[in-house]
Structure 1
Amino acid sequence: MSDDLDFSIQTVIRDKARHTPSHSHAEGQIFAIFSGLMTVTTHAGVWSMPPGRLGWVPPHCTHSAEIHVPINGFSIHISQSNSLQLPNQPTVIATSALMKALTERLVIAMKENTIGSPEYRILEVLIDEMIRAQQEPLLLPMPESECLTKMALAIINEPSNNLSLDEWAEKVNMSRRTLTRHFKAETGLSFGQWRLQARLHYALQLLSEGSSVTQVAFELGYNSVSAFIHSFKKVLGVTPSGYFNEINY
């Protein structure tokens, strides 16, 4: 067991929507929610945090958080030395049955106030599993230039907007080729991939609030429910109706 694997764990319960302003921690933060939806924003973009995944924020990473519906969950703060093993940017990580069991055991120990050597060893195993786990495609990276940022925010604020790439190029006073090149360079995604990610972020919010798949599909501007389901499954690997059921703890 590592002598410097210092950590603290606490429950997170919020009964209404809430915005937490930008801040940072000297320690790394592992967090998860059992119900609801949270988004975490940094200079690099926006991460959606649904139930059943583990979120990671490295030390000294400035971030803000938005709670869209009532949530409950937990967070674990770990030392900087042990944070070095984990990604150097915020990440949403897929959880396995083992990772769920490990986090459940830590939460029980916290509630019973019995944190000790066994829990330190459990946390070491959890970190090992997080290092090997698959990262989820739940990041919406934001462009850096002013004109592309304005375009991105317009799409986020109106996800049903179906303007074509050529139409957007005209609006931002760029050629199609220049817009395509700069957008990919600044976000790492093509325009089509990015718009799909933006729509899925909003879809997760609506689904977490109880909207039906049909309502979400038409809210996002899809011509059919099946088209929305296909897009959702292509990125997240499961249908919208099964998403929250499959990933809950």
Structure 2
Amino acid sequence: MAETHPLPVDQFEYDNLAQPAVALMLAPQRNDSESAEHTHRKGQLVVAYRGGIVCTGENGVWMVPSGFGVWIPGGISHSNRVTANGQVCFLFVEPDAASLPDHCCTLALSPLILQLILHLSDQAQDYRADSRTSRLAGVLLEELEQAPTEQLYLPLPASKPLRRIARALAQNPANRATMADWAQQVAMSERSLARLIKAETGLTFGQWRKQWQIIVALQSLAEGLSVQRTAEALGYESVSSFISMFRKTLGSSPARYLRSTPISALADRSA
């Protein structure tokens, strides 16, 4: 488990501003650590410009590769872990300032949205309602309302047996124990365990474990690990079998998926 640190006080100061959208670019220190669980009055978009972020809430885990963001509505308890090489920006959105989801989700952010957030983070955040910055913030929120969601989410079960399995998989993603093995470990029948997983996550055990592997794989790749090392960490006997699983789940190979992120498009435009 990563060491936990308190949040920078700036986050709470920005959360208290009345402007419809304010942005805070975090300094890179204290990366590879997990923030204490907390809530915000405003909605919060956690954006990865480099590396990745894992956001954990009460009911799930969201992965944010570069060019994506996790949207967290106001009042929802969560913690964030940034990869060691990460560069992160927080966008705080005033309640009712934009029509955004009422639940946590991962959003794919266009190069325009990413540029607007970067620009906003460089401005004085106590801007006037009739200022140019206010008008740009309005454009940003309009664009953000159109951002598509991505299935980079792992539902976390609530029951003790499934939480035990989740902790074991978090500690050892290469664990290849079968459903029968897990059922024996948590003193349940295989059929009862299968029903419980389906009821609490909406997924079969195989789907749930594969989604967990995708979350871990994206985090590893975002940290700069090679595809081969990522495959080995997940217990795959060959790189090709890992790539096949990744392609079937996300529609492309790991290398192509990372190249197609909005950050890559942003870099291409600025080159």
TM > 0.5: yes
CA deviation after TM superposition for structure 1 residue 219, in Å: 1.7
Which of 15, 25, 39 is 2:54 aligned to? 39
Does residue 167 (structure 1) correspond to residue 181 (structure 2)? The answer is: yes
* Residue 28 of structure 2: aligned partner: 14
Corresponding residue to 1:48 among 50, 59, 63: 63
Name the structure 2 match of 1:180: 194
Note if contact 2:52-2:64 (Cα within 8 Å) is conserved in structure 1: yes
2:101 to 87, 98, 122: 87
Q: Which residue of 2 aligns with 1:209?
A: 223
Partner of 1:242: 256
Within the alignment, does 1:154 sit opposite 2:130 as a pair?
no
Work out the CA distance in 1 between the residues paired with 2:215 and 2:107. 16
Q: What percentage of residue pairs aligned between the two structures are identical?
A: 33
Per-residue CA distance 1:98-150 (angstroms, 9 max, x = gap): xx213313422442549564443444444344334321111111111101110
What is the TM-score with the length of structure 1 in the denominator?
Answer: 0.88
**Distance verdict in 2 for CA 1:63–1:112, change over 3 Å:** closer
Under a length normalisation based on structure 2, what TM-score does the superposition of the two structures give?
0.81
Q: Deviations over 1:143-185 (max 9, x none)?
A: 1110111012112211111111122122222222211111011
Paired residue for 1:108?
119
Helix, strand or coil: the match of 1:199? Answer: helix
Q: Secondary structure at the match of 1:34?
A: strand
Match of 2:86 in 1: 71
Distance 1:130 1:185, change over 3 A: farther
Letter in 2 for 1:208: A
C-alpha separation between the residues in 2 aligned to 1:162 and 1:25?
A: 38
Q: Which amino acid aligns with 1:62?
A: S
Quote how far apart the aligned CAs of 1:78 are.
1.4
Measured after TM superposition, the shift of residue 5 of structure 1 is 6.1
Q: Which amino acid aligns with 2:229?
A: Q
Query: Which has the higher mean CA deviation after the structures are superposed, 185-194 or 132-141?
Result: 132-141
- Alignment partners' CA distance in 1, 2:121 and 2:164: 44
In the alignment, the residues of structure 2 paired with residue 230 and residue 13 of structure 1 have an alpha-carbon distance, to the nearest angstrom, of: 37
